[in-house]
Every structure is written in C-alpha cells, then in structure tokens.
Structure 1
Amino acid sequence: MSPRASAMAPEDRRKAILDALIPLLVDKGGDITTKEIARAAGIAEGTIFRVFPDKATLLFAAAEEAINPAGGQEAFEEALAEADELRDRIVIAATRILERMRLTMAVMSACRPYLAAKFHEAHHSKSKQAPIGPPEFMLKAQRDLHERLTRLFEPYAEGLAVTPETAALALRSLTFGAARPELGLSPALTPEEIADLVLHGVLP
C-alpha cells in the first residue's frame, strides 16, 4: 500500500518531493517513474500530481531547484559565517559552486528531454511570444550567484584593486571554467588554486 501523505503546506510538500527527486535523477537519470519518486518521498503517487500537473513540469522544477535551490542565500551565508579571511571565504564559495555545478549538470542531463519538450511547447504556443535563449530560471540563478559573490567581496572593498562586482565576475568565471570534464578539459582547478588565482593572479 502506498504511504499516506501527512498534512503539509503546499510549498513544504513541493520541496519534499523535489528533495527526494533530485538524488534519484543523479543516480538513475530521467527515466524514473512517478511511483519511484513517490516511494522516495514517502508519499502516495497521486500526491505528486496534486502538486505538479505532469512529469515534465515536475522535472522542470527539479532542474530549477538543482541550479538555484530555495534557501540558497541563507545556506551560502551560513557556510561563510565562521570564515573571516578573504581567501578562506573564496575557497568555501568555490567549493560550493563546484559541488552545485556537478549536481546541476547531472540533473540537467537527466531532464534534458523534458526541458526540450517544454521549450518546444512554448515555442509553438500561439498565446505568447516564444522565449529566446536559456529559461528564465537559469538566468535568475546566474544573477543570484553574482549578487552573492559580490556581497562576499564587499567587506574587503577598500583592499581590492577592482570593484567587488569585478572580483565576483573573476571568481565566477574561474570556477565555472575550473572543471569541465564533459568538454574533455583537464586538469581541473581546486578551490584553493582558484582562490590564489583570484587574489594573486599568475605572477609569483
């Protein structure tokens, strides 16, 4: 018998489903069934469809949560809370970005057919103009990350040779290019190497 869902606010139920789904996507890919998802979330299968109208919408939401999780800013600030030195804070930030990149790439790969279907549906919709470029949730994730990294540098602004915004861009660019095995690029940069390059460049 399927488990019976306990009373839960809609947003909490949505988060619980996505929290159970994302590790499944990483482990098994996008071919998992809603029955498997329900079992992992500890709910009845029908509960999924009271939150998400169809599987495509569910996996689209999983991709959005993977790249830019709810509560991401709070978690980022908590991770930095005990680090006072700028280098230590950069190492923590780079570590978190690299981990999030690996998770996002796995989830996006699993969800790719569903994301493509969503784009195709919007592209052929007669009720609104077809979107151009990446989905809005991907653009928002980049804006949010840039703001977080800018705030990381702001307390140290007087000692920087560039603005906090430029320092954030340098950190983001180095980290995004640090580990791209899907492009055959190696070796990868470690968070410590990223921090040293941001702070000191390539000169001795």
Structure 2
Amino acid sequence: MTDATSRRRAPAMSPELRREMIVRAALPLVVEYGTSVTTAQIARAAGIGEGTIFRAFGDKDALLAACMAEAARPDDTLAHVGAISLELPLAERLIEASEALRGYLSRMGAVAGALAASGGLRREPPSEGSSEGAAENRRRALNGREASMAATREVLAGLFEPERDRLRLDPERLAEAFQFMTMASGRGVTPLTSAELVELFLHGAYAGGPAEN
C-alpha cells in the first residue's frame, strides 16, 4: 500500500462550519477595509479558493451581512459573563463583566463603523412589496436587539444574586442599570474605565461614604 493510498483524507467541513470559518477570517479585514474588502483578500486569509466564498455565500454582500450578524451576536460574551466565579467579590465580578461587554460593543462598533464609513451594505432596488419586507426586517432586527438586551440583563442579574439580601434593589433592576451604564460609559471625552464605572455604580459619586443631609 502506497503512502498516497494509505493517507486518510481529512473529513469534509460542513457548509455551516465553512461559513463560520470564512466569517472569522473576514472580520478583521472588514474592520480594516470596510465594504472595499475583496473576496480575493478574504480567500487568502481563509486559505481557500475564491470560488469557495461564492459557493458558501452567493455574493460578497451576503458575506458582509454575515460578518455584521456575527459581530452583533452576543453568545460568546454572555457565556463569558455567565462563567464569572461567584466566589469573587462583587466589584471584581462586575469589572470582569464590564470588560467583556465593552469588548463586545467595541468589536460590533468596529465592524458596523467600517461598513458604514465605506458606504454600507448594498441595498436591493425597490420592488413591489418591498415596504412590507423592509418593515418585517426592521421588526426582526428590533426583536433581536430586545432579546439580546434581555439575555444580557439575565446573566448580569446572576452576578448580583449572592448579595441579594444586602442590596437596595433586586438583582434584575440593578442588572438593567449596570447594563445601561456600561453601554454609555465608553463614550465621551474621558471614558470611564471599568474599575471607575464599578466604583461609581456601587458607591456613588461621594468620596468616603454617603452624602450628608
């Protein structure tokens, strides 16, 4: 038996896994080049032929849309936050959660910003029924954002749960407040660090304790 006949072929990659692999290779290029990135560049980064991209996605716009959807997907970030040890002090738990959430927001913003700055995703020409289709797409996007926000609040609430009996508000309400503070804290001229955000959230603006009446 020759080496050629004895050598086993690697198992074929499923279409879903191949699309995921292509998107992972494409994301850094999309951030760098926006919509001007070429399928040839993506193919080289992924180590595949350019035709494989078109077989997997049909066209470049579909690939760019898949990149945006992947950047907006919070699953990995929520898994990270959900895995934070409850044995850590609450402040440390929240700092780690803030870092994870801000990293996710930064990655999503980088992809969206690059696509917008270079012209955005190409839109299909208007057609009969297009207004109803656009409304349905907006509804689905809104539902997706709401579901993502709700899932984030749920996993954040778990970080407050061990201290429930010592908290001014229930974990769910604190999780919602912390979520919105985290989303806003990275903006402005001098953005708060995660440590500053958590210190402010847990202890307020007054140094050395609560304000005097």
- TM-score of Structure 1 vs Structure 2, range by shorter chain: 0.7 to 0.9
Quote the residue 1:109 is aligned against: 113
Structure 2 residue runs without a partner (length 5+): 1-9, 208-213
Aligned CA distance change for structure 1 residues 84 and 140 (closer, same or farther; 3 Å): same
Give yes or no for the alignment of 1:155 onto 2:162: yes
Structure 1 residue runs without a partner (length 5+): none
Aligned CA distance change for structure 1 residues 58 and 69 (closer, same or farther; 3 Å): farther
Aligned mate of 1:167, from 165, 174, 181? 174
Give yes or no for the alignment of 1:60 onto 2:65: yes
The alignment yields a C-alpha RMSD, in angstroms, of: 2.9
Give yes or no for the alignment of 1:22 onto 2:61: no
CA-to-aligned-CA distance 1:111-132 (integer Å, 9 cap, x gap): 33444727x7699626746244
Give yes or no for the alignment of 1:10 onto 2:28: no
Quote the residue 2:194 is aligned against: 191
Q: Counterpart of 1:25 in structure 2: which amino acid?
A: V
Give the drift of 1:77: 3.1
Give the drift of 1:188: 0.6
Give yes or no for the alignment of 1:93 onto 2:115: no
Q: TM-score normalised to the size of structure 1?
A: 0.80
Give the % identical residues.
Answer: 34
Give the drift of 1:193: 0.8
Tell me the SS of whatever aligns to 1:135.
helix
Give yes or no for the alignment of 1:32 onto 2:37: yes
Aligned CA distance change for structure 1 residues 15 and 34 (closer, same or farther; 3 Å): same
Is the CA contact (8 Å cut-off) linking 2:81 and 2:96 kept in structure 1? Answer: no
Tell me the SS of whatever aligns to 1:188.
coil
Q: Counterpart of 1:192 in structure 2: which amino acid?
A: A
Is the CA contact (8 Å cut-off) linking 1:167 and 1:198 kept in structure 2? Answer: no
Aligned CA distance change for structure 1 residues 155 and 8 (closer, same or farther; 3 Å): farther
Give the drift of 1:142: 2.4
Give the drift of 1:10: 2.4
CA-to-aligned-CA distance 1:78-132 (integer Å, 9 cap, x gap): 4x238611100100111112222221111001233444727x7699626746244
Is the CA contact (8 Å cut-off) linking 2:77 and 2:101 kept in structure 1? Answer: no
Aligned CA distance change for structure 1 residues 20 and 124 (closer, same or farther; 3 Å): farther
Map 1:135-154 to 2 at 5 A.
Answer: 135-136=141-142, 137-154=144-161
- Count matched residues: 194
Q: Counterpart of 2:101 in structure 1: which amino acid?
A: I
Larger Rg: 2
Aligned CA distance change for structure 1 residues 27 and 154 (closer, same or farther; 3 Å): same
Q: Counterpart of 2:179 in structure 1: which amino acid?
A: R
Give the drift of 1:148: 2.0
Aligned CA distance change for structure 1 residues 123 and 148 (closer, same or farther; 3 Å): farther
